Structure formats: C-alpha cells, structure tokens
Structure 1
C-alpha cells in the first residue's frame, strides 16, 4: 500500500482496524497541508473520513508538534462550548515512527489566502473576524480549575518561560544572524510582567486555524491546530492573533495571507471586541505584542529552516524566510510602543 510522504498506509490500516470502531479497511489518504506546522492528511476508508495529524518531517524543535497534547486538549474541550473536532485516537511512535492524532472530519471552509477571503463580502469578513474573537474569549472562559485541563500547564511564570523558550527555539532553528532578534529578546527579558490571569491558551490562533460553516461563515465549526496549547496568560493569545494581521507575516503564507488582508478589522477593533466579550482588561500590551512578534519570527525561521532541509511538502515555502527579519524588527518597535 503506497501513500503520501510521511504515512505508511499498511501500518495505518492495522492501527485503524484495532482502534477505530466501524473502520471498513482499504484506507487511502491525501495530504491537506504539509510543513508549516504538523502534516495534515485526509484519511478515508471509503465510508468514513478522518483527519490525521503528525509532526513534520525532519528534525523537530523541543516542545513543538506535541501530538499527545493536541489530542488531549481536543478531547478535554468537547462539551465546553468551544468548537473542536471530535477526538478519535492517539498513537505513539510505534506505528509511523512518530506520534499521530486522529480526529473526526469537520466539513466546512478554511480561509487561508486573500483569494479565499475574496469569496466573502465585507460585512461577512467582519462578522467572521469578530466571531473568531468571541470564540477566543469563550476558550479563555473555560474552567481550568478542575478536570483534565487543570493539568495542562503551569500558569505561574508562563510569560517568563515563553520569552526564554522562544529565544531558545531561535538559537536552534536560526539559519543566519539577525541582530534584531537578540535586541528583541533583551527588551522582553527586561520588561516581562506578571501574568494577568490564566486560561487555556491556544498558542496559534488565527483565521486559517478555524473551520467555518460553508453556508454561514461567521459560525465557527471547529478550531484546529492545538499542538502548542497550554495554561497561560490569555492576553498572549490575543496579541499573537493581532500580530498575524501585520503584513510582515504575509510571506509565511506565500504572500497572500487572509489574516493580513486590509479587509480585516484593525487591531484596535479586535482588542475592543475582545475586552467587551471577555470582560478582561488589556494590560502590558506592548510586552504582549512584542512577545507575539518574537514567536512569529521564530515560527517563520523554523519553517524556513525545514524548507532549506527539504522537509516541507507542497507549495508556497520559498518566501517564508523573507518574513523573519521584518517580524523581529517590528517586535522591537512594539516593545517600545
């Protein structure tokens, strides 16, 4: 049985037969996205459809691409009102050589590019953007004092650990010297505040990590890509979501990211919507935006490094390295704001 890169269909067939009720055999798979984050495949037996997620090919950065975390968070959020795909099965590295998670398929649309966004009129674009912020606020309102989510992370010291972790990731993935990254790190290290609160933090919240209802796009059918979820300061999620709207991020999605479109609401509008919906006060915003830019810059460089090694699949990776330096420079400016 042959399949796309990263999948052994014979091994997957054996796993599905043993672990998934109703599996009919004869599995096939196609790559949905390949290399910016985890590899994502649409898997079917001809009757049922699932989504399989596994880490990217090649060397991985520590704490990223955590399939067990992604699966556990998705399972724990079921029934909370936060829209997620149904968790189906989790495998260790004995099946494919790396862990992978299987969820149910959620039908809908994913708006990744400006071309995708062009299918929506302006009122719908704004409705989608505000619905995303409302969903983020709902995620941050989930009770994390009891149950499986309570053990997801250590809220105290989250911001300090984020500064150190992402600078450490930079030192692992950097393909060139960019002085603004070092300056950026020192500024964040000097200005790191205490956490404003603690909540489930998605860690990569943006429009293309949501599945929208095809008939009513402002209805979020599922949030996806939970590999970096943890307990931490909810303002970190909000800040990263707004940084994904900066045009300097566009090269990470082949130069045409829906999140960076001028048709999307402004940062000020998104922050106002969040504060009204969540009831939270936005504090230390310059630090949070600066940290978000550091994270975005390191993510861009990490994908660029994988592309240089030949470990990405699909199109649109050639421009990603162009984003790193501008994101780092924007972060320096943001911390001084």
Structure 2
C-alpha cells in the first residue's frame, strides 16, 4: 500500500491504527484500487467523532465515540449502525451503513462505516453563493419540517423497528432520566432548577401514538442539495433514536431552531441569522402536515430546553473534571444557565 494521508487531530493520529484500518477496509470492501487511503476529520462537535475515508474514488464516513472516559451506554455506535440497517430502506435520508467493528486492535473503541452523502450542511453560516438563491431560507425551513413529519409517518412495526425501544412510559422515563443525569453531573447550584423540576414532574401529559423519533433532529444534522435548493439529501446522527413520543422530537428541533433574539446557549444554528421560519411558523407547518394536537406543547418545549441544558452539563462536567481538554467547553456553564432560563420562561408563560 502507498503512504497514507491522515488529516486528523493529534490524538486521533496517534490513538488510531490507520494502517490496520486500511487493511480492514480492503479486506471487507472489494474492488478498491491501489490508491493510498486519505482520512480527513470533520470538525468536532459535542458527540461522536466523524471522519471521511477515501481510497481512490471510493468514499465512506467513519463514526466512533469520543476519546477518553465516557458515560456508560453513551455513544453507542453499534446501536446506531443496527438502526441504520433497518431505517435506510424506508427512509433514504438515513445513510446506508457498510461495516461495524467492535474489536479493539484498530482503535480504543468500536466504530462503523457508512456511505458518504454529498451536499451542504448548514451550521452557523451559509456560503455566500448558496445564500444568493431566492427564498433559500424559506425552502430550507419548509423541507426541515416536512422531513421531520415524514420520519414520524413511518410505520415502525413494518420497518422491523418495534424492538428499538419501549414506547409505553417513554416520556416519563425521559423526564426522570434527564433530571437524574443533570444531578449526577451538576457543578453549580442554579436557582431556577428546582422550580423547573417541580413543574415538569407535575405536568407530564399523556403521549400521542408512538413513532420513530430521531432524538437529535436539528438543522445541522441535515444535508441539503447544492443544486436543488432546499432539497434534503441526508439526516445524520441517529445514535439516540427510539420509538417514543414524536412531540419530544418536535420540541428538540424547535429548541435548537434558534431565533435572532436568543441568548447564548452553547449551541449554534444558522437560523439565528434571520430569514428562516420562526419557531411559531415551524410549529404551524408541523401541525398542518401531521395533524397532531400541540395543545400541550409548552410542556415539551420547557423539557426540551432543560434536556439540552442537561446534555451540555454532562459535557461541562467532564471538562471541569479534566476528562476533556478542549477549551471550547469552558463557557458552557453560561449556555446552561440561559437554557434553564428559556425553560423557566416557557413555564412562566404556561402559568
């Protein structure tokens, strides 16, 4: 094999046996040419690590958990791989999975390979030439809502996904579980927490009929066509997917869909630039397309803000304890406070 070209973080360069990975790929993927393997690491988010793998014209994406100590059952990429095997045939925006590997001779944690999709992912900026397309932001808003509705319409039993989770009691487990996770990673006493916990625990509604839920559905987990404005190409990051209450999915999507006036929350969204749907417009289209009752939505939104705060709190705790060395996480405590404030504001409006 020719010399590899590895463009990754220093830790990934030393802690992953890239020659062994190439041998593994060539053993299981047939008819690859003799070109050297090229690896590029995508910009690191707060979750699993993602790498582009290229051998000649063949491309794939590798996903693996973060380095270092992680919470039990977190970053379960095997579960994500098995889910993609079943959901890709009925929801083609889910990438096709190729290979899963759990032995540790190649790297310190398990990983899988999936197809590479081609398009544009919108994080906190829009490329200028793309943004010049007329009504682009409206088209993206519409297709984001419609893609979520389409996901929730899938017959999960026919898709062979009935064993993905236990829909009975899903919402209650989520609520109690996330309050417990927050408490287990708490670093500061925040005055709004007790009021939020008390109100949410006292107002858990009955859930609508269960559906497949993505559980991390947000704009930068989608990919759009470069040539057909607003057309979705892919939905990524399925590790948290379940069978459960679709309104929890909707609420998370709306909470991540930042408005222009939102405070710093530790999360970025291009929607804060303006011109996209407002949160109310997002909800209106979802209600029209899905025919779901959103009369209890304030509960779901208050919980969604809290859940995101709890997710960031787990990351901030790991940073403060020295398990994570990335200084991007140093100001997450301010975002957590503001997310709790947003949750509290929703509750106050409800009252």
Provide the TM-score with structure 2 as the length reference: 0.87
Change (3 A) 1:318 1:49: farther
Alignment of 1:194 onto 2:203: no
Inter-partner Cα distance in structure 1 for 2:166 and 2:325:
32
CA contact (8 A) 1:58 1:306 kept: no
Alignment of 1:89 onto 2:102: no
Inter-partner Cα distance in structure 1 for 2:111 and 2:263:
28
Alignment of 1:9 onto 2:18: yes
Change (3 A) 1:281 1:118: farther
Inter-partner Cα distance in structure 2 for 1:334 and 1:238:
15
SS where residue 154 of structure 1 aligns?
coil
Change (3 A) 1:172 1:261: farther
1:222 corresponds to which residue? Answer: 234
CA contact (8 A) 1:244 1:260 kept: no
Inter-partner Cα distance in structure 2 for 1:249 and 1:202:
26
1:229-308 matched pairs, under 5 angstroms: 229-246=241-258, 248=262, 250-253=264-267, 257-308=269-320
Inter-partner Cα distance in structure 1 for 2:128 and 2:162:
37
Q: Residue 20 of structure 1: which of 29, 51, 73 is its match?
A: 29
1:1-337 matched pairs, under 5 angstroms: 3=6, 4=8, 5-6=11-12, 7-24=16-33, 26-94=36-104, 95-116=106-127, 119-121=130-132, 123-246=135-258, 248=262, 250-253=264-267, 257-308=269-320, 309=322, 311=324, 316-336=328-348, 337=350
Change (3 A) 1:301 1:2: farther
Unaligned segments of structure 2, at least 5 residues: none
SS where residue 52 of structure 2 aligns?
strand
Larger radius of gyration between Structure 1 and Structure 2: 2
Provide the TM-score with structure 1 as the length reference: 0.90
How much does 1:320 deviate? 3.2
SS where residue 141 of structure 2 aligns?
helix
Inter-partner Cα distance in structure 1 for 2:250 and 2:213:
9
| Two-structure CA RMSD over aligned residues (Å) | 2.4
SS where residue 298 of structure 1 aligns?
helix
How much does 1:71 deviate? 1.2
Change (3 A) 1:193 1:138: same
How much does 1:22 deviate? 3.4
Change (3 A) 1:164 1:106: same
How much does 1:33 deviate? 2.5
Inter-partner Cα distance in structure 2 for 1:102 and 1:39:
12
- Higher RCO, 1 vs 2 (CA within 8 Å, ≥6 residues apart): 1
Unaligned segments of structure 1, at least 5 residues: none
How much does 1:58 deviate? 2.3
Q: Which runs of 4+ in 1 moved over 6 A?
A: none
Number of residues of Structure 1 aligned to a counterpart in Structure 2: 334
